[in-house]
Chains A and B, each alone.
Chain A
């Protein structure tokens, strides 16, 4: 058995001081400890097991606390669990919960609450859209429980006593500790959920174990939370009130930031250079764990031309990523030549050949490949590119159309509404489709598993060598070697055109401190934030 927090390379935890960020020397706290952040849309729910949105997770992370939290760089640190042990077969995790953890109603947080919660997530009766997360975590019997073939009680999670939680996995999962920082693994209070039914998330009824309690929630207007005096680390929580304001228009949100109504807001595409010049202390651009790409449909019903790897390579080479990043987005995004985001923890960027060529070289190579594949002026290649309604997707698609003109390829643009787009991608009714993938956890497999034969893989790419590498990565001491090799295969087979890797481009008021700028997941904990006197 290894006590991970004490002994392994992660060296986290027990010996570390309190985690709440404290003002640095010379910083004086402001009187007003209220943090107001921007929400683009109405919050679907504050139920950790029914939420599916990033913004919902941001709220849930304040109201609830999982087994582990993330530090400023995204590495797992103790949350409700102070430490965990891993069995020698790497398939059993034993979490030790802190005895002082409490629910906001004063009840102790016990291991049984986690058992109830994880069973609830997987239980078909809950009909959670994130039930698959239990399967992704490889928790024993998760798939059978989700399918209704086994009872929720048979899920591989047990409480040995009130403060010891044992999780059994079906296969070694090196990134498992990172997955339990995900909001869908957070505990709910069994008594409250059973008593209140679907209404338990309403203000006044909601009981959480996070650093904040829900004060009010007007759907699509605002949600506000106050510091939770029953939180085990409340003494180190500085921020008293947090408030999320919904503003459906990014430009109006920016105006309201400038009018002082918001403390953090996203910068609309193309405005970063100007704002960075005007307020260098407030405009930030930090890596964000998503990759933007065009997928090729490689299914039997897909276009013949795209089954030829030379055509796919030609199309990828001719994509002028620098123009997309520097002329259209202008927010510090990086051109992508591979699938996994460069800033994912531990990921070693592969040495992709065409990334090092100049655009002129790429174009030349692309023309040669296309000619080799039999396409040219007398037999022009015609393809359709489908994207969903959005100003930026449109700009990039129009630019792509121009890039491909230089190659003699005619691209027809097909703009459809979001649901239609998604539906067609999933049913394979497309030729080239816009796509983006965001990490579920801070590890490269969240990207690479996508292209496994059994993965989500809307274009139905399949390569046994790739699958084998990904299988090996699960039990490997250092899976990053397999990940880098897997990326090389993707660059050879080119089932997609990677276009750019995201950056989070935001304005943050300069007296707000403690928001993480190095966590590629961009998960934040209000308990770590404080406002200083100007």
Chain B
């Protein structure tokens, strides 16, 4: 197992390098640049800017310098659009925000989603099942860009309970977590339900019931663990996409998270910020797919690496 983890990490490094090179090239291929604006800059000013940010070097040298900066100094460079901030500062300010509401949303989605799914499966075709399935379909079809303004309308304008946006103590976390977790919760509930149904019909459950185990034990000890396998493979990428935030949540609740920075940096051609967040998301994705694989082995004794 230990050797397997080491091997995976060894593969991760060239994968990340490839990610950097491909995103770098794609980004530079897009029309316009960080300094393209409504009023065309005089050529000498543009030349000064390009010189300052090293954009006048050949592309290969820019990539080499960029990667070297990361490897040698863990420096992701200066932002092209926010001249008094570095990419490290922008991520350091934004990532804790998305990490907070993302991790909470993850916990909420897993807890509620799995419970809903399991309950629905055990009481298949009862009113509880219909209610659970109905709720999860409802949550799935209500996109967060519709839900977010509705939440602000209800909790801020009508009820006056919660601040309409910004970032600070737990009172600011509630609406972002609701908006973020609902659709994930719905997916988790549906996956759990169908996988649970499948497991409940399998031989080892029949055996467990035949030897007279109480239903609670059958579900918790024998059915839940295998039923969670497909859920876990869904959770790895879901976790990464939650903690790296959502542009919709950041936009509607003004949280200052990196979800918005990611989209903005692409639209603004803020090359360095975009690369920084791409690498962050890429590294996290690689890390958590590894975590999922390790969890697999722990849950399913049939899997050996």
Contact = CB atoms under 8 A, between A and B. Distances in A.
Interface of A: 42, 44-47, 50, 52, 124-125, 127-129, 131-132, 135, 143, 146-148, 198-202, 218-222, 245-249, 251-252, 255-256, 258-259, 261, 417-420, 422-424, 426, 436, 456, 458
Interface string B238-276: 000000000000111011100011001001110000000
Contact of B83 (A198, A255, A256): A198
Contact of B256 (A146, A218, A258): A218
B198 to A, nearest CB: 42
Contacts of B90: 219
B181 to A, nearest CB: 20
Interface of B: 30-33, 35-42, 44-45, 48-49, 51-53, 78, 81-85, 90, 93-94, 148-149, 152-153, 156-157, 160, 163-167, 250-252, 254-256, 260-261, 264, 267-269
A219 B254 contact: no
A255 B149 CA distance: 9
A277 B164 CA distance: 25
A504 B156 CA distance: 26
A422 B164 contact: no
Contacts of A426: 36, 40
A259 B267 contact: no
A247 B261 CA distance: 14
27 contacts: A46-B84, A52-B37, A124-B51, A125-B52, A127-B48, A127-B52, A127-B53, A129-B37, A131-B42, A131-B48, A146-B42, A200-B84, A219-B85, A220-B260, A221-B166, A221-B167, A245-B254, A246-B254, A247-B254, A252-B148, A252-B252, A255-B156, A256-B156, A417-B267, A420-B31, A420-B32, A426-B40
Contacts of A220: 94, 250, 254, 256, 260-261
A474 B160 CA distance: 57
Contacts of B267: 417-419
Contacts of A198: 78, 83-84
A422 B37 contact: yes
**Which 3 A-B pairs rank lowest in CB-CB distance, beginning with the nearest?**
A419-B32, A221-B256, A423-B32
A258 B160 CA distance: 11
Given A219-B256, A247-B254, A261-B164, 4 more contacts: A45-B82, A124-B51, A248-B251, A417-B267
A50 B84 CA distance: 9
A57 to B, nearest CB: 14
Contacts of A131: 42, 45, 48
Contacts of B35: 129
B36 A423 contact: yes
Nearest to B260: A220
Contacts of B250: 220, 248
Given A47-B83, A198-B83, A248 B164 contact: no
Contacts of B256: 218-221, 246
Contacts of A259: 156-157, 160, 164
A422 B36 contact: yes
A457 to B, nearest CB: 10
Contacts of A146: 42, 44-45, 48
Contacts of B152: 252, 255-256
A273 to B, nearest CB: 21
Most buried by A among B35, B254, B264: B254
B43 to A, nearest CB: 9
A424 B93 CA distance: 35
B38 A44 contact: no
Nearest to A144: B44
B157 to A, nearest CB: 5
B45 A129 contact: yes
B82 A219 contact: yes
A202 B85 CA distance: 9
Contacts of B81: 44
B31 to A, nearest CB: 4
Contacts of A248: 250-252, 254, 260
B83 A218 contact: no
A221 B38 contact: no
B166 A245 contact: yes
Contacts of B149: 249, 251-252, 255
A44 B148 CA distance: 26
Nearest to A220: B256
Contacts of B156: 255-256, 259, 261
A127 B167 CA distance: 33
Given A248-B260, A252-B149, A426-B40, A218 B93 contact: yes
A44 B37 contact: no
A129 B49 contact: yes
A246 B165 CA distance: 9
A252 B48 CA distance: 39
A248 B90 CA distance: 18
A292 B97 CA distance: 39
Contacts of A147: 44
Contacts of A125: 48, 52
A129 B48 CA distance: 9
Contacts of B166: 221-222, 245
Contacts of A256: 152, 156, 164-165
A148 B84 contact: no
Contacts of B164: 247, 252, 255-256, 259, 261
Contacts of B42: 131-132, 135, 146
Nearest to B42: A132
A259 B261 CA distance: 27
A132 B32 contact: no
A251 B157 CA distance: 12
A274 to B, nearest CB: 16
A46 B160 CA distance: 33
A249 B39 CA distance: 25
A505 to B, nearest CB: 20
B41 A132 contact: yes
A44 B82 CA distance: 5
Contacts of B36: 419, 422-423, 426
Contact of B165 (A200, A219, A247): A247
B165 to A, nearest CB: 6
A259 B264 CA distance: 28
Contact of B255 (A143, A221, A251): A221
Contacts of A249: 149, 251-252
Contacts of A221: 166-167, 254-256
Contacts of A456: 39-40
Contacts of A124: 44, 48, 51
A219 B37 contact: no
Most buried by B among A147, A221, A255: A221
A44 B32 CA distance: 19
B31 A148 contact: no
Contacts of A252: 148-149, 152, 164-165, 252
